Structure 1
Amino acid sequence: MASAEVYQLQTLNKITRQQLIEYKPSTVAILGVAGGNGLENIDKEITKRVYCIDVNKKYLDACRIRYPNLLEILEFIHCDLSRNDAILPLSDIHICNLIIEYLGEESFGRLIYNSKNNVNIITCVIQKNCGVNFVSPSDHSSEFEPIMAIHNDIDEKKLVKILESIDFSFIKNELYKLPNGKYFLRLDFKRK
């Protein structure tokens, strides 16, 4: 994902920085935080609490190791967001970059609906594959093969419709082209 041909990590980091600069949240929840890509963009003068949410405890442990300078504001939540009883923490923004592909539109909509009182702004990134595989060829492609079984291609129109049906207004979209023929689509929503 970080190779020059793929350039996804670098692009995702840039998008996360933009999300944080635009909304200036005092609290932020990052769904599917993985190893912490984007956490280096946290400004502790602005953001006082970061909820790092992931189903993989090893990813949360990696965040602890990689970002010791942020430990006093990081809260780690080990959670399977696909569970029907999952509830998101109260936060100014919820960053959902490349996580909806693992949940699907309906499951993500249910998660937001169940957490509606805790969610103000949703800013998310979905990957559009343009007829190529979700996992791009690279030296690390084989490491990502297990995720192919749970990956969903996301229909942005369906996602918008689902979130609008639970009282979220669609407020922004932005396209980011990647060198491998794919692109990232950023979609932002605000609770009505």
Structure 2
Amino acid sequence: MNPWSDVPYADYERHMSHETVGQLALLNEITGEKVAQRYPQTVAVYGACTGNGFAHFVDAQTVYAVDLNPTYLAICHDRYDPILNKLVLVQADINHENIPIPPGSVDLLICHLFLEYVDLDRAFASFRQVLRPGGLLNVVLQRSNDTGWVSNTGVTTLRPVAAIAKEVPDETLRQHASPDLRFDGLQTYRMPNGKSLISYDFIKAANAPQVDEDENGTDDWLTWDR
């Protein structure tokens, strides 16, 4: 079982919002910036967890929250379904399952601290499948800078997650995006604990071929539309 299935949502939020980590607030801010740049009608968030940043999507027509942990999705629904036009919950593990979002439908795809835990080939196949031509993919990656992957905040339930994490080098990221997800800039943020977060933007090329995600895995998935 994926260790993310066993991390209580309160522990995750407590760790991410700890004063020595500060990642929850920054990721929220980055999401807001991307919404302000694109005014998207359809948004997908891979690794949605409990919905950090979803308050910025109030003007979107459809928001897809993708996560493997059903408790995280239930919390996300309770918090944000009342304020969003349409929130679609997608419970799936991208390492083993396809993501059932209509092809070419997504204007903005948010992927924050997600690629470090998943198969990159499967993830980018899904990105290409769901993004519309001209759509924006925003990826945020962590750089530990020799400080250890998970900071010591007193939250011990994240230790199994750290065991499966892997840093994604800049070159590896760009190789997986090339050629049809065009690099469109990055920004680096230095965090209180010595780590860095790097926010990358990629634009799906107008002439990019459509990817058939069924070629990359099974279609055993569960979608909640509540």
Normalised to the residue count of structure 1, the TM-score between the two structures is: 0.89
2:77 match: 64
Shift of residue 32 of structure 1?
0.6
Correspondent of 2:178 among 160, 164, 169: 164
Correspondent of 1:76 among 72, 82, 89: 89
Cα offsets for 1:75-117 (capped at 9, x unmatched): 111111112644544211111011111114334233334x166
Q: Which 10-residue stretch deviates more, 26-35 or 59-68?
A: 59-68
CA distance in 2, matches of 1:38, 1:93: 13
Matched, 1:35 2:43: no
Q: 1:171 to 1:54 in 2, by over 3 A?
A: same
Q: 1:161 to 1:88 in 2, by over 3 A?
A: farther
Asked if 1 retains the 8 angstrom alpha-carbon contact of 2:81 and 2:87, the reply is: no
CA distance in 2, matches of 1:21, 1:85: 29
Give the root-mean-square deviation of aligned CA atoms.
1.9
Correspondent of 1:54 among 58, 67, 73: 67
Correspondent of 1:128 among 137, 143, 156: 143
Shift of residue 16 of structure 1?
1.1
1:92 match: 107
How many correspondences in the alignment?
187
Cα offsets for 1:3-50 (capped at 9, x unmatched): 111111111111111111111101100111001111122233xx1110
Correspondent of 1:148 among 146, 162, 181: 162
Asked if 2 retains the 8 angstrom alpha-carbon contact of 1:175 and 1:183, the reply is: yes
- Structure scoring higher RCO (CA < 8 A, sep ≥ 6) equals 2
Asked if 2 retains the 8 angstrom alpha-carbon contact of 1:31 and 1:54, the reply is: yes
Asked if 2 retains the 8 angstrom alpha-carbon contact of 1:104 and 1:152, the reply is: no
CA distance in 2, matches of 1:85, 1:61: 20
Asked if 1 retains the 8 angstrom alpha-carbon contact of 2:90 and 2:99, the reply is: no
Asked if 1 retains the 8 angstrom alpha-carbon contact of 2:49 and 2:72, the reply is: yes
The aligned amino acid for 1:19 is K
Unpaired stretches in structure 2, ≥5 consecutive residues = 1-15, 206-226
1:175 match: 188
Matched, 1:191 2:209: no
Matched, 1:112 2:127: yes
Q: 1:20 to 1:183 in 2, by over 3 A?
A: same
Q: 1:12 to 1:85 in 2, by over 3 A?
A: closer
CA distance in 2, matches of 1:172, 1:102: 23
